[in-house]
Structures are given as structure tokens and as C-alpha cells.
Amino acid sequence: DGGITQSPKYLFRKEGQNVTLSCEQNLNHDAMYWYRQDPGQGLRLIYYSQIVNDFQKGDIAEGYSVSREKKESFPLTVTSAQKNPTAFYLCASSITAGGRHEQFFGPGTRLTVL
Amino acid sequence: AQSVTQPDIHITVSEGASLELRCNYSYGATPYLFWYVQSPGQGLQLLLKYFSGDTLVQGIKGFEAEFKRSQSSFNLRKPSVHWSDAAEYFCAVGVAGGGNKLTFGTGTQLKVEL
């Protein structure tokens, strides 16, 4: 079955540590996205990538970094510079850029900073 | 820049009653509009989408939505709610040439009373 996988489902981090969240898709989609979800705030875009080896900052990129070395993979690193990283993180993909293609979402990773 | 407003944070309906969730958008041209549903701790699932053409759009699980340009609205409706419809619902808007970025509303939490 085609889809998007995110791992781990739950992640705990100590303050000052960097952590990397995994996102893999086998839908052959060109575009991939990372969102952060906090209660009452909907989804906010962190980074997106329209093609391999290229990515752009979203609305809340500070304290995060990404890479897109393979079409299937778009890992997100939450760095120690992110002041309030505890949140639910969602990865998504779409066929291509252009606005009229729906995004497909993974199951999410819940990150908790201890 | 485009924006989306979901005025109702919480809605409670009785099972079997009709449902309407409100969504208003702000954008200068015709947007691409989406409704997603999210169960607790899960990713988002697409219910329906509007790109152009017929303003009444049918989706999965018996949902429909109507695009009203004059009111900048894209309200989601269901004639008879089932207990399994309890979830959080998100309206989103995409624009042409926007890199397929979606802007999400803050969500409406639906509770279904038996």
C-alpha cells in the first residue's frame, strides 16, 4: 500500500538536544511538507520541498532544519534553538506543487521535551 | 496572503442530527479549498476538495460542501451525523502558484452526543 510513514510515533527529548523526525513516502510525490500542530492553532508550515535537493522555509522555520536528498525522504531536525519544541509534527506530500493538489498526511510524531 | 477562519472552536450535535461547519476564506481570486478530518493522535484525512466548476462538492463519509463566492465561504455539511464523526475538522485554502502550500484554519472540534 502506498502512503506516508513517520517515525517514531512518540519522541522524548531533553532540553539542549537535537532530534530528527523521519518522514518517508512511497507515493512517488515530488512535494513534501512539515507542519507543526499545537492545540487551538491549527497546522503551521515549517518547511516544504518541491523537488529533491531543494526546500523552502515556511512560516515557522526558526529552530528547525530539513534535508531532501531523496525523493522519498524528508527528515526534520528539531534543534536546541527551537524554544518550545513540544508539539505534534505532521509530514505531508503531494503530487507536485501548484496549489490544486491535495496533500496526503502521515500519522504524526508527538515530541515532548523533558 | 490568503487566510482561513473557522469561527466555531467546538460544536456538539446529537447523533442523527444535521451538521454544518463554517469556513470563511480571504483571497483575491478563486482559491482551491479543502476539508480535512483528524481523529485524536492521528494524521489528517481528506474529506473533499473544490477547484472549480460545480459549487456543491461531494466527499467521503457522506459529507458535502458548498462554495459560495459571494460569501467567501466553503461550509461543510452532513445530513445525519454518526457517533464516529466525532473528530476535529480543518478547512484549508491553496492558491495557484503558491508552491502548493496550504493555509489551514484553526479547526472545529465536533462532539456527538448519543
Instruction: Using an 8 Å CB-CB cutoff, list chain A residues near B98.
Output: 99
pLDDT exceeding 70 applies to what percent of chain A? 96
Q: What is the pLDDT of residues A42-87, one digit of tens each?
A: 899 999 999 999 999 999 999 999 999 999 999 999 999 898 999 9
φ, ψ of residue B83 to 5 degrees: the values are: -55, -30
**Pairing relationship of beta strands B64-68 and B56-58 according to DSSP bridges:** antiparallel
B9 pLDDT above the threshold of 70: yes
The residue type of A71 is K
| Cross-strand pairs, B23 | none
Report the pLDDT value the prediction gives residue A69, as an integer from 0 to 100. 97
**Pairing relationship of beta strands B108-113 and B10-14 according to DSSP bridges:** parallel
**Averaged pLDDT for residues B48-52:** 91
- Across the A/B interface, how many CB contacts are shorter than 8 Å? 71
Q: By CA distance, what is A10's nearest residue in B?
A: B41
φ, ψ of residue B5 to 5 degrees: the values are: -125, 125
Q: Quickly state the pLDDT bin for A24 (edges 50, 70, 90).
A: very high
